[in-house]
A and B are shown apart, each in its own frame.
Chain A
């Protein structure tokens, strides 16, 4: 048995503690001025690359939108560099951090504004197709779920070493569709936690 501290659910009331939107929405008395460090807009003015928006709805096993979920994303910059000095690899030469957090709204929708990531190294010297790691927390989830978001317009998906571990008939659940919204690129990525069209989650 390991000596890890066990995971517990984030519960229904995390938003005012963890998200800028939540902090603004529920305030007793005078408002404490937080420095907002973790939000759903990852774009920094100095970051190069294609600016994209990601939107999706997360559904439960009854097909109902989950209105109290929290999604976190972690990604490389457009040149395939992660902003983590512990990694020993090349760092972004900008202030792009690559981490974001979004609370779902009353329609179960989450959204991120970010930069499309570049390809990064994978196992056995093979490159991985551009992707974003997605971590999901919610009431009713005693531990987080991990999945990945890939981009529909990437030919590299066909040779991606992680996508190839997923049964072919379930790969589509990890691929965000490219659309246009107000003339800007939008990737739509719906998540189904359970049942028909269930999103692939990884044991990592």
Chain B
């Protein structure tokens, strides 16, 4: 497979320095990044097969003695490349707060309860059609210290591997209609509205399971498209 990874496509990503999100101020390079050709080192990437995971890794409601509290949901979708072709055998990892908006991480001191039946981490590998599926609970919103009365919209963190180390993506999935969107500098660090909306899952009634769980669809588009004659060296 001969894929190319045009850096122009990255224009929809947030800038490294996005001052509304204060932590970027001291954690972004001050000098311009140095462009370089993609070599074998960038055009290859780690491969994790289905042997990397286990049965309940993608069901965050079944990793403990009992079910976690909260609204049970299904999150599913396809991992695609820039040509919208499926990315099979891609390792997809996620982590999230519990239904009360609290992470198990020790640094999270938000005074909302932990749930002994919820860690909030999962992973899966896409099938031949690039499809993945998780069962989890809807994470709560939570406050953070960026500015006065700052709250993160409900979100699930995603980490995805694609066709090469250049396709590597860490992003966040948001839920439709969240009233916190206009106030969140992380969500709004993506300045193009269409691109921003691609981080919002869509409610999926068709795949909602009656009497059991709502479903959300979240397709993820990674870097990489087929080489065309215009791409010749």
Contact = CB atoms under 8 A, between A and B. Distances in A.
A91 to B, nearest CB: 10
A35 B65 contact: no
B205 interface: no
A25 interface: yes
Given A1-B192, A140-B26, A142-B16, A202 B36 contact: yes
Contact of A4 (B165, B196, B222): B222
Given A28-B104, A99-B46, A82 B40 contact: yes
Q: For chain B, give the interface size range.
A: 35 or more
Contact of A35 (B15, B39, B52): B52
Contacts of A23: 121
B26 A128 contact: no
Interface stretch (A7-15, A47-55, A176-184): A7-15
B192 to A, nearest CB: 6
B82 A17 contact: no
A89 B41 CA distance: 12
Given A5-B198, A85-B47, A120-B39, A142 B189 contact: yes
Interface string A53-92: 0000000111010101000101110000011111101000
Interface stretch (B126-134, B166-174, B208-216): B166-174
A122 interface: yes
Nearest to A25: B106
A6 B170 contact: no
A153 interface: no
Given A18-B159, A83-B46, A145 B29 contact: yes
B140 interface: no
Contacts of B198: 3-6
B154 interface: no
A104 interface: no
B73 interface: no
Contacts of A165: 34-36
Interface string B217-229: 0011111000000
Contacts of A18: 93, 95, 121, 159
Contacts of B45: 74, 84, 99
Contacts of B121: 16-18, 23
Given A5-B219, A194-B27, 13 more contacts: A1-B12, A5-B198, A12-B108, A18-B93, A26-B105, A29-B65, A32-B64, A32-B119, A60-B26, A82-B40, A97-B47, A198-B30, A204-B36
18 contacts: A2-B11, A6-B195, A7-B171, A8-B190, A13-B108, A16-B119, A18-B95, A28-B114, A29-B116, A37-B53, A121-B39, A128-B39, A137-B170, A142-B18, A142-B186, A194-B29, A202-B34, A204-B5
Interface of A: 1-18, 22-23, 25-30, 32, 34-35, 37-38, 60-62, 64, 66, 68, 72, 74-76, 82-87, 89, 97-99, 120-123, 128, 131, 133, 135, 137-145, 148, 162, 165-166, 193-195, 198-204
Task: Please give me the 7 A-B residue pairs with the lowest Cβ-Cβ distance, nearest first.
Answer: A17-B95, A140-B23, A29-B116, A140-B27, A99-B46, A2-B9, A142-B14
